[in-house]
Amino acid sequence: MIIVSGIRLPLGSTKEDAEREAFKRVGHPGDYTLRRVSYDMRRGQATMVCSVTASLGDAEAEKRIASSAKEMQYSEMQQLRPHHGTERMNYRPVVVGAGPAGLFAAYLLSEYGYMPILLERGADVDTRTAKVDSFFLSGDLDTDTNIQFGEGGAGTFSDGKLTTRINDGLCDYVLNTFCFFGAPDDILTKAKPHIGTDNLRGIIKRIREKIIENGGEVRFLSRVEDITVEDGRITRVRCAGNDIPVETVVLACGHSARDTYSMLMSHGALITAKPFSVGFRIEHLQEDVDRSLYGRFAGDPRLPKGEYNLSAHVGGRGVYTFCMCPGGTVVAAASESGAIVTNGMSRYLRDGKNANSAVCVSVGPEDFGSSPVRAMDFQRNLERAAYAAAGGGYSAPASDVGSFLDGKKGLRKGRIEPSYPRGVVPFDLEKILGSELSECLRGGLRAFADKMDCFSDSEAVLTGVETRTSAPVRINRDENRQAVGIQGLYPCGEGAGYAGGIVSSAVDGLRTAAAIIEKYCPFRG
């Protein structure tokens, strides 16, 4: 197919307008489909920028036409069609973790007749939602079922963002699969697609039901307590006090499964520390974000809710915004007792009053050394310090931006009401992160204020701490996607340190499942 990019159209144009313009440029009949839409607000104008795919039914003609203009490129459609391997499978494959990586791995295995057993330490998504709501109200934390753990993984309580930096043909497979199970069709064309946490919950259930329909099994409240390794190969998984014999285990444990990391290290898995980022959640009014991005077009219903992605280099470290949630709320995302973790969440309509985003600074070996245990402890110590700072009860420490920039305690009551559900307590946030990291964050906030007016608002709210931006470790794997030191164990997804976000995690899970399919023939009992 040909991808025709850079099609600029007036705001309010339709998909048919974009497809007609692509046809004019290609000059041949075929199947034209809108691929992506973004918006350019430069020069005081609002312009739609579109790309369209053109399938002419003749690959050689497509290549020739695509080479004739810089705004066209030829792309081969990538199909996910692994061939069954020949090795005998003695036991059903086990998938650990029902986040994006594990869910898509189990789904593909089930579609190819492998009848996987999917183990999830947390509850099903409906029970999980009730548990999370209860925690928000009462402060009663379930350490196995929470924002981090449970069906759907951490992304279930987010914005359902489907943006990714990876350039992998399977990204489209993931988006189309989400649509098949009920996601809005606009995720196929938006430059920054999102499902919304409200829609995502139903989609996850339908994927689970399909896995079961295909002969798979899903077990909730089934935390993997231990494994057995014999002669360098995984042979058993202990779950709820019972041993399950195995020969292939997809490990998609998520980035907060610190107990799982420790257990694997005790069995000789090669786990290394990796850089990650820490910081706070910042809240602005959504209308201020829109005004900063869209100027006089702010509020135009033809434009999406404003969202941003900012970065700066300060003091030898990267400072950046992450997981921006338009019209969303800051959520209590702890998974360990006596610790504070923040994250952001939006519904599909993004119709909340506030916008929030992580503002984070990079940390690495210079901060915690090369030990994976010390990397995890670095996160944990910040989370416990935040808990103590707010006085317990899972309230969170907070500051207005002006006070933080001045290096003091302060939280003025202004236009922006903090949305963190357990309540916030004014605190000097530098006392949690320390002077060096705080100075980098201050430099980042000042740099962002030069790019967006809303970051100049001294009443914007900072709530701490954001520590789970990515896994602090990597479970190293070989060229066959198996864990170094433990054959038959296939670490994947964000928790293994090989992905970041819903789409890249799902793609990693798919490629891991495909590796198993191409090695083994389906389990026959």
Distance from C-alpha of 207 to C-alpha of 210, rounded to nearest angstrom:
5
Residue 48 tokens, joined: 């739609």
166: pLDDT strictly greater than 90: no
* pLDDT at position 262: 97
- Convert the pLDDT of each residue in 55-64 to its tens digit: 999 999 999 9
The torsion region of residue 333 among left (phi > 0), alpha (psi -120 to 50) and beta comes to alpha
* pLDDT at position 181: 98
Residue 360, amino acid:
C
Name the fold adopted by 94-272+481-519: FAD/NAD(P)-binding domain (3.50.50)
- Convert the pLDDT of each residue in 328-347 to its tens digit: 999 999 999 999 999 999 99
What dihedral angle (degrees, nearest 10) is formed by the CA atoms of 514, 144, 499, 115? 10
> Range with the lowest mean pLDDT among 73-77, 133-137, 231-235?
73-77
Buried b (16+ CB within 10 A) or exposed e, 64-81: ebbeeeeebeeeeeeebe
* pLDDT at position 42: 87
- Convert the pLDDT of each residue in 390-413 to its tens digit: 999 999 999 999 999 999 999 998
508: pLDDT strictly greater than 80: yes
**Average of pLDDT values for 106-126?**
98
490: pLDDT strictly greater than 80: yes
Locate the DSSP E strands across 240-328.
Answer: 242-245, 249-251, 271-273, 276-285, 311-314, 317-325
Residue 406 tokens, joined: 């001045």
Q: Residue 346 has what DSSP assignment? A: -
Distance from C-alpha of 289 to C-alpha of 354, rounded to nearest angstrom:
9
Distance from C-alpha of 414 to C-alpha of 411, rounded to nearest angstrom:
9
79: pLDDT strictly greater than 80: no
Query: How far, CA to CA in Å, does 90 sit from each of 87, 93, 113, 145?
Result: 9, 9, 14, 32
Q: How far apart are the first and last CA of the chain?
A: 43
% of residues, the chain, pLDDT over 90: 95
Is there a contact between 381 and 410 (Cβ–Cβ < 8 Å)? no
% of residues, the chain, pLDDT over 70: 100
* pLDDT at position 43: 80
Residue 519 tokens, joined: 């090695």
> Within a 10 A sphere around the Cβ of 335, how many other Cβ atoms?
23
φ, ψ for residue 496, nearest 5 deg = -85, -5
Please report where in the chains the tokens 């420790």 appear, as a residue: 262
- Convert the pLDDT of each residue in 258-314 to its tens digit: 999 999 999 999 999 999 999 999 999 999 999 999 999 999 999 999 999 999 999
Is there a contact between 492 and 481 (Cβ–Cβ < 8 Å)? yes
- Convert the pLDDT of each residue in 348-388 to its tens digit: 999 999 999 999 999 999 999 999 999 999 999 999 999 99
- Convert the pLDDT of each residue in 202-228 to its tens digit: 999 999 999 999 999 999 999 999 999
> Within a 10 A sphere around the Cβ of 401, how many other Cβ atoms?
26
Average pLDDT over the chain reads 96
Residue 241 tokens, joined: 């006090």
* pLDDT at position 413: 86
Q: Which CATH architecture has domain 2-74?
A: 2-Layer Sandwich (3.30)
* pLDDT at position 447: 98
Distance from C-alpha of 448 to C-alpha of 386, rounded to nearest angstrom:
25
Distance from C-alpha of 459 to C-alpha of 332, rounded to nearest angstrom:
22
For the chain, the domains span 2-74, 94-272+481-519, 275-466
> Within a 10 A sphere around the Cβ of 229, how many other Cβ atoms?
20
Look at strands 317-325 and 242-245 and give their pairing: unpaired
Output the DSSP codes for 381-439.
HHHHHHHHHTTSTT-EEEEEHHHHHTTS-----SS-----TT-EEE--THHHH-HHHHH
In the chain, DSSP finds a helix count (H) and a strand count (E) of: 14, 23
Sign of the CA dihedral 346, 347, 348, 352? Answer: negative
* pLDDT at position 76: 83
> Quick one: how far is CA 167 from the chain centroid?
16
* pLDDT at position 201: 95
Global pTM? 0.96
> Any idea how long the chain is?
525
Distance from C-alpha of 45 to C-alpha of 11, rounded to nearest angstrom:
9
* pLDDT at position 487: 97
Query: How far, CA to CA in Å, does 145 sit from each of 122, 141, 504?
Result: 4, 8, 24
* pLDDT at position 270: 97
